[in-house]
C-alpha cells in the first residue's frame, strides 16, 4: 500500500471536518477564552435580574470580531438556565434598524408569534409587551446588537427611550438594556438625545482586539472540535493566526479555517496546506465587507455600485447617476452617503473645489472588484 497513489487521499464520502458547524458565524463555543474580565463585568450587571430586580444597563464596545456577541449569548444562556423569571432577547440591529422592528422582535419573543404586519401602532405594540411582563412578573433583558445601525438610521434615541422609560408608563415593568456597538468611531452615549442620556448611565465594558497568542488559543479549539486529527498542522494554524491578527477580526480566522478545509477537500487531500490557506484568504479577508453589504437596502447598494463606477468623484457628480437610477432626492442621498461612510464602506472626505467651495469626495474603502463582485 505504500506505493498506492491513492493513499492519503479522501474518498468521495469522506471529509476533513469532524463538525463543520464549528466554523459557522452563529456557533457559540463551549469554552470562551481571554474574556474573563468582560464576562465578570457583564455578570455583575445582570445578576440583579436573577433576583427579580431590574439589572444594570450595559454598553459593550469593541471592534468587530472581538467576542462581544458570543459573550452576551453565553451569559443569556446561563441566565435562562438559572431563572425562568428572566426573559432575554438579543436583537440584531443590522436587520432590525428601526424602533418598530426592534419592538416587533420583542413582541414575537413575548407571545411566540409575529405581530400583524400592518394596523398596529407602536404604542399598542409596546403596551402589549409591557403589560405581559407586568402580568407575569418577569424581568426583560434586551441586547441591541450592532446598535450602531440604529444610530445610522437616527432611531437609537427613540428605541432606547421607550425601553428605559417602560417602568414609568407601565408600573412594575422591569427592563434592562445592553447595547453592543462595533463602530469604534461611535460614542453611543454622547450621540443620544439628552432625554435618554439622563436615564441611560450604563456600565461600560470594552472588548479589545485579540493579540496573536490569544488568536492561536481560540482557533486551536475550533480546529480540535471542527477538524479530524492531524488535518491542520501547527505551522498552518500559526499562518492562519497571523493573517487573522493582521485583519483584527477573529471571524476572518474562523472563516479562513473553513474555506481552507474546503480547499483541501477539493484536492481530495486529508491535510490542509499553507497554500489552501493563502488561496482561501483572498475571500476570507472580506468577511466584514460581506457582512456589511448583507444589511444594506436596495437603494444603499445602488449608491455603493454608483460610487464604485465613479470612485473618487465629487458628491454632486455622483448624485446625478444615483438620482437617475433611484429617483431619490438629495437629502436622502446625503443620508445614505453618511451611513456608508459610518459603516466604513466608503471614505467621504471634504475638499476645497476651485470656484465651488467645499465638497465631499466619495471613494471606496475596499477593492473595487471585491465590492462589485459582492453586490451582484
**Predicted local confidence at residue 26, as pLDDT:** 85
- List beta partners, residue 349: 361
Look at the alpha carbons of 253, 254, 259, 263 in this order and tell me if their dihedral is positive or negative: positive
Give the rounded distance of the alpha carbon of 238 from its chain centre. Answer: 26
Question: Within the chain, which residues score under 70 in pLDDT?
Answer: 1-8, 352-357
Degrees, nearest 5: CA angle 158-104-184 = 50
Domain 36-206 and domain 296-375, same fold? Reply is: no
- List beta partners, residue 143: 90, 178
**Predicted local confidence at residue 356, as pLDDT:** 60
The backbone torsions φ and ψ at residue 71, rounded to the nearest 5 degrees and listed phi first, read -60, -45
Other C-beta atoms closer than 10 Å to the C-beta of 282 total 10
DSSP codes joined into one string, 93-151:
TTT--SHHHHHHHHHHHHHSSPPPSSS--HHHHHHHHHHHHHHHT-EEEEEEETTHHHH
**Predicted local confidence at residue 355, as pLDDT:** 57
Question: Cell numbers at residue 330, please?
Answer: 438629495
**Predicted local confidence at residue 371, as pLDDT:** 96
Q: Round the average pLDDT of the chain to a whole number and report it.
A: 93
Residue 150 makes CB contacts below 8 A (sequence gap 6+) with 93, 97, 98, 99, 102, 144, 156, 159
**Predicted local confidence at residue 2, as pLDDT:** 41
CB-based contact 252:244 (threshold 8 Å): yes
User: pTM, whole model, 2 decimals?
Assistant: 0.90
pLDDT digits (tens, 9 = 90+) for 114-154: 998 777 899 999 999 999 999 999 999 999 999 999 999 99
**Predicted local confidence at residue 357, as pLDDT:** 64
**How do beta strands 86-92 and 139-145 pair?**
parallel
Each domain of the chain, given as residue ranges in start order, spans 36-206, 210-285, 296-375
Q: Which option is the CATH number for 210-285: 1.10.10.10, 1.10.260.40, 1.20.59.10, 1.10.8.60? A: 1.10.8.60
Buried b (16+ CB within 10 A) or exposed e, 285-302: bbbbbebbbebbeebbeb
Q: Is 30 exposed, middle or buried (0-12, 13-18, 19+ CB in 10 A)?
A: exposed
CB-based contact 225:19 (threshold 8 Å): yes
**Predicted local confidence at residue 3, as pLDDT:** 43
**How do beta strands 139-145 and 174-181 pair?**
parallel
Strand, helix or coil for residue 85: coil
231 DSSP assignment: S
CA distance 250 to 268: 27
Max CA separation in the chain (angstroms): 80
CATH number of this structure's domain 36-206: 3.40.50.300
54 DSSP assignment: P
3-state secondary structure 150-219: HHHCCCHHHHHHHHHCHHHHCCCCEEEEEEEECCCCCCHHHHCCHHHHCCCCCEEEECCCCCHHHHHHHH
Q: Is 249 exposed, middle or buried (0-12, 13-18, 19+ CB in 10 A)?
A: buried
**Predicted local confidence at residue 354, as pLDDT:** 59
In the block, residue with C-alpha cell 419573543: 109
- Class of domain 296-375 (CATH, top level): mainly alpha
Amino acid at each position: 500500500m505504500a506505493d498506492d497513489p491513492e493513499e492519503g487521499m479522501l474518498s468521495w464520502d469522506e471529509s476533513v471536518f469532524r463538525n463543520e458547524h464549528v466554523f459557522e458565524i452563529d456557533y457559540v463555543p463551549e469554552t470562551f477564552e481571554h474574556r474573563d474580565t468582560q464576562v465578570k463585568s457583564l455578570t455583575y450587571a445582570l445578576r440583579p435580574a436573577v433576583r427579580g430586580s431590574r439589572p444594570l444597563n450595559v454598553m459593550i464596545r469593541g471592534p468587530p470580531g472581538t467576542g462581544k456577541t458570543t459573550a452576551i449569548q453565553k451569559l443569556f444562556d446561563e441566565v435562562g438556565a438559572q431563572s425562568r423569571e428572566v426573559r432575554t432577547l438579543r436583537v440584531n440591529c443590522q436587520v432590525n434598524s428601526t424602533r418598530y422592528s426592534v419592538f416587533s422582535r420583542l413582541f414575537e419573543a413575548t407571545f411566540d408569534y409575529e405581530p400583524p404586519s400592518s394596523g398596529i401602532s407602536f404604542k399598542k405594540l409596546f403596551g402589549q409587551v409591557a403589560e405581559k411582563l407586568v402580568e407575569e412578573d418577569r424581568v426583560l433583558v434586551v441586547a441591541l446588537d450592532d446598535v450602531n445601525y440604529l444610530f445610522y438610521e437616527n432611531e437609537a434615541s427613540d428605541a432606547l427611550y421607550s425601553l428605559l422609560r417602560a417602568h414609568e408608563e407601565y408600573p412594575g415593568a422591569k427592563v434592562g438594556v445592553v447595547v453592543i456597538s462595533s463602530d469604534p468611531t461611535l460614542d453611543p452615549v454622547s450621540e443620544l438625545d439628552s432625554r435618554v442620556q439622563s436615564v441611560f448611565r450604563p456600565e461600560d465594558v470594552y472588548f479589545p482586539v485579540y493579540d496573536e497568542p490569544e488568536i492561536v488559543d481560540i482557533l486551536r479549539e475550533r480546529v480540535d472540535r471542527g477538524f479530524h486529527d492531524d488535518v491542520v498542522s501547527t505551522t498552518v494554524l500559526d499562518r492562519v493566526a497571523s493573517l487573522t491578527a493582521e485583519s483584527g477580526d477573529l471571524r476572518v480566522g474562523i472563516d479562513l479555517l473553513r474555506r481552507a478545509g474546503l480547499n483541501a477537500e477539493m484536492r481530495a487531500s486529508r491535510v490542509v496546506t499553507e497554500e489552501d490557506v493563502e488561496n482561501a484568504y483572498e475571500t476570507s479577508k472580506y468577511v466584514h465587507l460581506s457582512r456589511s453589504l448583507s444589511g444594506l437596502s436596495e437603494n444603499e447598494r445602488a449608491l455603493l455600485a454608483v460610487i464604485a463606477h465613479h470612485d473618487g468623484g465629487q458628491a454632486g457628480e455622483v448624485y446625478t447617476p444615483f438620482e437617475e437610477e433611484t429617483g431619490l432626492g438629495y437629502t436622502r442621498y446625503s443620508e445614505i452617503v453618511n451611513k456608508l461612510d459610518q459603516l466604513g464602506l466608503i471614505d467621504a472626505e471634504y475638499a476645497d473645489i476651485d470656484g465651488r467651495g467645499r465638497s465631499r469626495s466619495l471613494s471606496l474603502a475596499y477593492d473595487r472588484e471585491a465590492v462589485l463582485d459582492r453586490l451582484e
